[in-house]
Amino acid sequence: MKEARSDKKASRSKISDTDRLDKVDGGNQEIVFSGLSETALTTVLGLIAVALLLTGCLCRGLFYATDVYPMVLMASGSVLIWFVLFIMCFNAPKTRGQLGIAQWLDYLKRLYEAIMQYAHFRWMLWPLAIAVWFGLHVGMGTVSVQGSLEAMLRWSLLAIFALLTVMLAARANGARWFACGWQMAGGLLVLSGVLAACGVLPLPYGVMRTTDPEISSAGARLGGLLQYPNAYGAVVGMYALERLAAAARAITRPLSAGRLIAAVLPLMPAQAALLLSESRGAWLATGCAAVAAFALQRRGARVPLLLATAAPLACAAWLYRQLAAAQLAPAPVPGLLALAGAWAAALLGTLLLCRLWHSGARARAAALTATVLAGITAATVAVASTADRMAAGVGTGLSRLQIWRDALKLWTEAAWLGHGGETWRSMFRAIQSSPYVGGEVHNGFLDLALDTGVIGLLLLAGWFFFTLRTMWRQAPQLLPSVIVFGLHGSMDFDWSFTFLWMMFIWLGGWALSLPTLQESEADKKRSRFLRPLSPWPQRIFTILIVMFWLGGTVWLAGQQVAAEQQYRLAMSKNIEGAEQKVLLTAAYKFNPYRPDIAISLSRTLPAKKAESILVQSLSCSPVSPQLYGELGRLAAQSGRGESAGNYFEQSLALNRFDASSQSQALYWMEQASRRELASGYAERGRQTAAAGVKMYERYRELSEEVAAGEKRNDRRFELGEDALRYGSNLRLLAFDPLASEVSRKSP
């Protein structure tokens, strides 16, 4: 009887929640959606959100800007489609005594109130504010206009995705769509990666191979669909912890074998994928988050959490050992058999432990003993498999410390406002203290601080605080996944993958979608922030801002897509001459902010026009060594040695540990000196050669300093044979211009 009464109460509460979400009081009248329309709207919105999440997963995690542009168009179009359907399904009650304009105004008022019924709109303002801040950097001045525009588009995409998730969170049954999307995205990432490691599924660049023991003990690491093992390890760790919490909740009570197996089914492959990534940072972050998950459990649910972990982890460690021995390239049949055997053993082991736990005291003791032994076995296998990498040293860790020290110095130059988008990638060559390879700063917080300063960090902190507070109150089982996201983001460049931010947004929307939160937020006591605005000017202003934002985002993304298409066509092998010039001109018109497009176009134009385009591009990318080097080459070809020297000085100052750039600068300084001497300008020619000799001497001293030091030389910076020859030639031209002919070979 009690269960029947509780079921009736639950059904009544669900009905009241649906009514609360489907009806908004507006002037003592109701805005009503029919039941069919409400279901259709929720279904369409859920399909759109899940499709965007899966697309981000399949597009290499949206790391590259060229993958982000089409995604922005797709997300913006999805928002437009859903709002059109929303308007079509919207039924405003007819009012008596209103005709013409008054009736339309009343209709628009009720439509606006229906849209603004969602109490969580303020949550999507955090990524939107960061996108706006990047946009302001374009106007205020930035180290790279193109980088700031790309960052603005990334964060606009995240804001659009957050908008869709908060709307889905406010719909009835929204939580089911979030659970479905999480399972589909996580399952796709895990299964595709594990099957690729087993030799069953061909996945291009899914496995990273190396002979460096500091990077991998097995010689191969699993990167999956993200094509980067560290980020892949972090995201499968997030998925594994959420599934682990769900499995622990299932084990707390006796269940049928089928339901228990369904609950623990994803655990073994997820943990195997985490181990196969061989990401020490992901292991550490997941381990810390697992400890937090254990602490967050109720006292009676902590042991079931360990029971759910034991057998899958031991079997995953065994599978990792087998695949690592084959360097993640076994024959398909043995690889598939190993996967099937480990998976079956994990399921049967968990089923046995669960049965023992729900039996007598002796059986419980046996279950705990087996759990401890399984944990020790898994740890032993994992440590033994990575012992070679641990013994190889901590060179990569020391390199990151050096990167972080240099990044902190750069951050202090614009601590509050930041330098704009792509700051580190644009400037690390100019400020690096040793020749390391580091296009990424390997710290999400520091990377955002460089781009947006303290203001951006405050916006991010507010977003994190609001999300964590919501999860703490409504969905503590999701907190460990967010902990992995935050911890690993602080030691690697996961946050450069837009897909990982989408996963974070998905978890936040999932927490917002829970019925208890809907009950507390959908009533009249919700925050005044973003309540439906009553004066018409404010409503119109809000609508215009949203239209301007979405329209501007679509236009900018379209320009980027068009420029990329034209540039790729122009750079293809089958196109040359006039046709290539036309395509490059079109690409430059679509996007004049990309230095590579400007350089390619300048090489098809006369010297004066080429220099004009390069100087204009330099105003958008003031720290681009390639632009300065190209201007130096043009000046040298024109016989302007002094200008060439100035440009090459700037180029080398922005990229001093690049042996190729150093050698190129010396070659063109020699050519500029020769042209000036041939034209009868003997003094200018000697001065140009003398400037080249100074460049050579700095290059030689820097190479000797690097060779004598103990720091890593990842860029293989050294004094090459070509540079030695160019230096000798420049000395002859500077101090004996009438000497015998010297070599004029091109570098």
DSSP string, 534-590: -SHHHHHHHHHHHHHHHHHHHHHHHHHHHHHHHHHHHHSTT--HHHHHHHHHHHHHH
Helices 280-296/302-325 angle, 10° precision: 160
C-alpha span between 73 and 483 (Å, rounded): 31
User: For residue range 463-480, what is the model confidence (pLDDT) as tens digits?
Assistant: 999 999 999 988 999 999
Residue 31 has pLDDT above 60, yes or no: no
Q: Let me know: does 38 contact 172? Beta carbons within 8 Å.
A: yes
pLDDT at residue 628 tops 70: yes
Mean pLDDT computed over 32-54: 82
CA distance 580 to 94: 61
DSSP annotation of 422: T
Greater confidence (518 vs 229) lies with 229
**Mean pLDDT, range 72-91, rounded to an integer:** 84
Per-residue pLDDT, 223: 95
pLDDT at 403 (0 to 100): 92
> Is 478:486 a contact under the CB 8 Å cutoff?
no
User: Measured between alpha carbons, how far is residue 278 from residues 98, 355, 370, 386, 456 in Å?
Assistant: 69, 33, 26, 8, 32
Answer whether 636's CB lies under 8 Å from 162's CB.
no
The pLDDT, as a whole number, for residue 441 is 93
Which segments within 659-740 are labelled E, that is strand?
Answer: none
pLDDT for the residue 388: 66
Q: Which of 61-65, 245-249, 280-284 has the highest mean pLDDT?
A: 61-65
Q: What is the pLDDT of residue 392?
A: 56
The closest alpha carbon to 743, from 666, 635, 660, belongs to 666
> What's the CA dihedral at 447, 449, 453, 458 to 10 degrees?
130
The CB-side HSE value for 540 (13 A sphere, CA atoms) comes to 4
pLDDT at 395 over 80: no
336, 337, 343, 348 alpha-carbon torsion, rounded to 10°: 160
Identify the residue whose tokens are 């196109």.
Answer: 575
C-beta separation of 224 from 239 below 8 A: no
What percent of the chain shows pLDDT beyond 90? 63
CA angle 408, 412, 413 (to 5 degrees): 125
- Is pLDDT at 332 greater than 50 in this prediction? yes
Any idea which of 91-100, 601-610, 617-626 has the lowest mean pLDDT? 91-100
Burial class (CB in 10 A: 0-12, 13-18, 19+), 182: buried
Q: Which of 362-366, 390-394, 406-410, 574-578 has the highest mean pLDDT?
A: 406-410
CB of 548 within 8 A of CB of 540?
no
Report the C-alpha gap between 13 and 112 in whole angstroms: 27
The three-state DSSP-derived secondary structure of 83-104 is: HHHHHHHCECCCCCCCCHHHHH
pLDDT at site 123: 84
Category of 328 on φ-ψ map: left (φ > 0), alpha (ψ -120 to 50) or beta: left
Q: How far is Cα 31 from Cα 305, in angstroms, rounded to an integer?
A: 46
The predicted pLDDT at position 122 comes to 80
CA distance 317 to 311: 10
* pLDDT for 219: 87
Amino acid at position 618, single letter: L
Lowest mean pLDDT among 339-353, 395-409, 638-652: 395-409
Helix axes 498-512, 229-251, angle to 10 degrees: 20
Q: State both tokens at 656.
A: 């001093």
Residue 318 has pLDDT above 50, yes or no: yes
- Under DSSP, the state recorded for 392 is T
Extract the tokens encoding 207.
């496995």
Those residues with Cβ within 8 angstroms of residue 579's Cβ, 6 or more apart along the chain or in another chain:
none
User: Which residues is 221 bridged to in the sheet?
Assistant: 208
At residue 529, the pLDDT reads: 38
112 has a pLDDT exceeding 80 = no
pLDDT of residue 236 exceeding 50, the answer is yes
d(CA 17, CA 51): 27
Give the least confident one: 67-81, 131-145, 377-391, 654-668: 377-391
Q: Name which of 654, 618, 656 is nearest 634 in CA terms.
A: 618
- What 3-state DSSP class applies to 32? strand
Element (H, E) at 208: strand 207-209
d(CA 507, CA 497): 16
- Rounded average pLDDT over 591-601: 96
Kindly state the tokens that stand for 598: 């400007």
SS3 state at 187:
helix
Q: Report the percentage of the chain scoring pLDDT > 70.
A: 84
Identify how many contiguous H helices and E strands the chain contains and give both numbers: 30, 4
pLDDT tens digits, residue range 684-740? 999 999 999 999 999 999 999 999 887 788 899 999 999 999 999 999 999 875 543
pLDDT band per the 50, 70, 90 thresholds, residue 225: very high
- The residues near 306 (Cβ < 8 Å, ≥ 6 apart) are 294, 371, 375
Strand 24-26 with 207-209, pairing? unpaired
Q: Sign (positive/negative) of CA torsion 661, 662, 665, 671?
A: negative
Q: pLDDT tens, 525-564?
A: 444 334 444 455 656 666 778 888 899 999 999 999 999 9
Confidence of residue 439 (pLDDT cuts 50, 70, 90): confident
Give CA–CA dist 466/86, Å, rounded.
Answer: 28
Reported as a pLDDT band with limits 50, 70 and 90, residue 30 is very low
Q: Residue 17 pLDDT more than 70?
A: no
- Nearest 5°: phi and psi at 194? -65, -40
Give the residue, 691 or 397, on which the prediction is more confident.
691
Residue that is written with structure tokens 């681009």 in the block? 624
Residue with tokens 């029971």: 307
Mean pLDDT, all residues of the chain: 85
Q: Are 576 and 169 in contact (CB under 8 A)?
A: no
Integer angstrom CA distances of residue 260 from 250, 477, 726: 7, 18, 73
Tokens 């009438």 -> residue: 738
The pLDDT assigned to 527 comes to: 41
CA distances from 166 to 37, 116, 514 (A): 19, 12, 12
Token pair of 48 as six digits: 């759109």
Average of per-residue pLDDT across 595-608: 95
pLDDT, one tens digit per residue, over 123-169 is 888 999 999 999 999 989 899 999 999 999 999 999 999 999 998 99
Paired sense of beta strands 29-31 and 207-209, if any: unpaired
- 396 pLDDT more than 60: yes
Q: Is the pLDDT of residue 76 over 80?
A: yes
Q: How far is CA 16 from the centre of its chain?
A: 40
Euclidean distance between CA atoms 425 and 28, whole angstroms:
57
pLDDT at residue number 214: 80
CA nearest 282: which of 240, 327, 242, 247? 240
Report how far apart, in Å, the C-alpha atoms of 431 and of each of 401, 441, 508, 696, 710 are: 15, 13, 38, 20, 19
pLDDT reading at 500 higher than 60: yes
Q: Over the stretch 193-209, which tens digit does the pLDDT of each residue have?
A: 999 999 999 999 999 99
The single residue listed with the structure tokens 């069953």 is 200
